[in-house]
Structure 1
């Protein structure tokens, strides 16, 4: 039996907006491209375009061999999870699309895998080219898939009309009901509905496949944010991580490397006072429902002070521990620069570089943190949990939520006993709500 790989993508320049899809069929054995498909769709939403790309890829594979096994790879977590049966399809506009896709091949003949956007460049390029043709005046494809026929640009076309009255104009606009940030008391809106955006949790902080219709290429413009720009009453409450860096230790004011590979210092007197102030602030807000800590002493002590004030137990997750800085543990940056200049230069240049003496690279830390994140999202879906951890884990969670490059870790300030907040929604979206708040320490 032949095996095909289908890679598909879709996007809109605006949500809804001028949209297109791309799909490619690849021979799994040889890697040869067997078929391509791309079309301009008129005005529809991101999710509609992605489903249309999936349908085009499946249909192209069926024309080549209806008996083949097909492995679909897409960078839309929403489509992959829905088609895999792990997420319910609650939005009525999405159900016909998923049903049509499930009927292209017999049950069990198609499997699905999420891949990062950078591994879906072929389909992404085809989708961009389709949107470029639309911007140049090409007519949209005729809608043959239920619920996807485009309407004039003046209307909110496609299934998006079922959940959004019109394209929103800014954060909190549209039909989103305002909420209160569980950690900071600042306004925060709900995530978009299933068809209102496709920002991915640790991989797409702001999803638009291409630039605005007036720009020649996607590389020349910034992406359009989707989280917080619409409403999603059917997605429920997010898993909200209130990220607390531990209080000061004797090493903190000296800015010495203090990871998981050296001594495990306890809080200083200042650090304990900081933890008490955090505890009082969180008690006033009254939103924390659970506490999980890194296993290291400084985090467990901080978490214990907060837990005593809130009347909660403290869970431990080893994935939240700090990076192992190897031979640099206990040294200042200047001391490392003097003793290990080449290793330090490599570490600053690449996330794959390890600290001297077999420490942990930032790339390895990110894999560990992402795994812990996924475990905790599943365990605390719809709840607000305080994660008491360290500089690198918190920065990594923020970086992944924003889909920022690894070097962004060196461009964030994170004070002792500071609070940051990231919310994770059921459709895979992540929303950074707060970073390095220290107001409670003043």
Structure 2
């Protein structure tokens, strides 16, 4: 006899778009027993994105339990139910990858969709709110100890809204499959709002633009040594070359005349770079803890070759997974992504419509670019970012983002 499972899923956004999370439960249809729970804070996203993320998490949890089961999905999102049932067209290009991903988890004949009132979706709603509450405190949802039965299903996703792929459903599905846990699942759904530049009538006002400046060189930079958050005592100052680079970028930015605010990582090399630029621009400097570099733990101050020699297994794990942390209590890229995404959202709200210089480090700059592109975590290893280079990302009122510049060093030549 074919097993039947019920998936109840929900998602919410406090602001739409705003801080968002999802929840999902898998229930044995025969006994009513809750078999699994999933919940996650996903950063800044819309209700519809959160709803789809909840659906995907619930279906994956059900598939892990019984891939041959018949699944009855129950949700209070009319949009998701009707789109997944095939009765409503999925017009928005950013929603298509999410729907496509959900459709690939089980063969279509095994899944049915049913709309239910919100009052009948309390378990999933509770989990979504718990995830958002955890996110508001800077953490992630964790299953309660002593809970009756459910097994927590970790999706491993990192929060933070990202721009959806503009590709076809087939190619977008491949991209999502490569990293089903990417921030906001490659999309920030805005019903009836086309992506920026796709409709001549779109008038979203001035974007919030982050000009991303990697600090100038330190003594460690030419040696390509791990130089992180300073947790192990390494917080180097700029070298003479780095101070020259800071002056050069200050002159270039002054000539452009577009920077309206300066925000920096708390680490010395960034603060020195930021204050050099701010003095030239006549601006104050604001410090944001979320912009600090990764804590590389016991790897601080070592070269890649030295880490390979001393900690080969840990290095292999770190290169293979965004959830792996450096030896000695360092930060994983997933952890860094969470705090960078939270700072991003906070700064977008503070400086809406302005052009802001963020003076920070390799990992935060690459992470902001990665999130804007909806690229998988391994893309961090595929970007070059020179000392004192400039990159730029623009964030629009509908939640879309546009990468405008990456690793520009023309001002140093």
Q: TM-score range by the shorter chain?
A: 0.5 to 0.7
C-alpha change, 1:347 and 1:67, in structure 2 (3 Å) is: closer
The answer as to 2:161 corresponding to 1:202 is yes
SS in 2 for 1:264: coil
Deviation at 1:29, TM superposition (A): 8.1
Residue 237 of structure 2 aligns with which residue?
Answer: 266
Deviations 1:334-368 (A, max 9, x none): 11111111111111111111111111111111111
Q: Which residue, 269, 272, 280 being the options, matches 2:251?
A: 280
The answer as to 2:351 corresponding to 1:355 is no
Q: Which residue, 95, 113, 116 being the options, matches 1:61?
A: 116
Deviation at 1:68, TM superposition (A): 3.7
Residue 140 of structure 2 aligns with which residue?
Answer: none
Alignment of 1:242-321 (within 5 A): 242-260=211-229, 261=231, 262-321=233-292
Structure with a larger share of its residues in helix: 2
Residue 210 of structure 2 aligns with which residue?
Answer: 241
Bigger CA radius of gyration:
1
The answer as to 2:393 corresponding to 1:338 is no
Deviation at 1:287, TM superposition (A): 0.4
CA distance in 2, matches of 1:312, 1:364: 31
Deviation at 1:39, TM superposition (A): 2.6
Q: Which residue, 358, 367, 383 being the options, matches 1:396?
A: 367
What 5-or-longer segments of structure 2 have no aligned partner?
A: 1-6, 13-23, 36-70, 75-80, 98-111, 126-154, 178-185, 188-193
SS in 2 for 1:33: strand
Residue 343 of structure 2 aligns with which residue?
Answer: 372
Q: Normalising by structure 1, report the TM-score.
A: 0.58
> Retained in 1: the 8 A contact 2:266–2:289?
yes
C-alpha change, 1:61 and 1:40, in structure 2 (3 Å) is: closer
CA distance in 1, matches of 2:322, 2:357: 27
C-alpha change, 1:412 and 1:59, in structure 2 (3 Å) is: same
CA distance in 2, matches of 1:332, 1:371: 30
CA distance in 2, matches of 1:228, 1:255: 39
C-alpha change, 1:337 and 1:439, in structure 2 (3 Å) is: same
C-alpha change, 1:40 and 1:67, in structure 2 (3 Å) is: closer
Deviation at 1:202, TM superposition (A): 3.1
Q: Normalising by structure 2, report the TM-score.
A: 0.61
Deviation at 1:204, TM superposition (A): 3.5
C-alpha change, 1:34 and 1:254, in structure 2 (3 Å) is: closer
Q: Which residue, 171, 181, 197 being the options, matches 1:228?
A: 197
C-alpha change, 1:342 and 1:289, in structure 2 (3 Å) is: same
CA distance in 2, matches of 1:413, 1:240: 21
What 5-or-longer segments of structure 1 have no aligned partner?
A: 9-23, 51-56, 74-116, 120-199
Residue 86 of structure 2 aligns with which residue?
Answer: 39
C-alpha change, 1:311 and 1:340, in structure 2 (3 Å) is: same
CA distance in 2, matches of 1:25, 1:254: 50
> Retained in 2: the 8 A contact 1:201–1:430?
no
CA distance in 1, matches of 2:408, 2:370: 17
CA distance in 2, matches of 1:405, 1:331: 27
SS in 1 for 2:115: helix
CA distance in 1, matches of 2:327, 2:94: 46
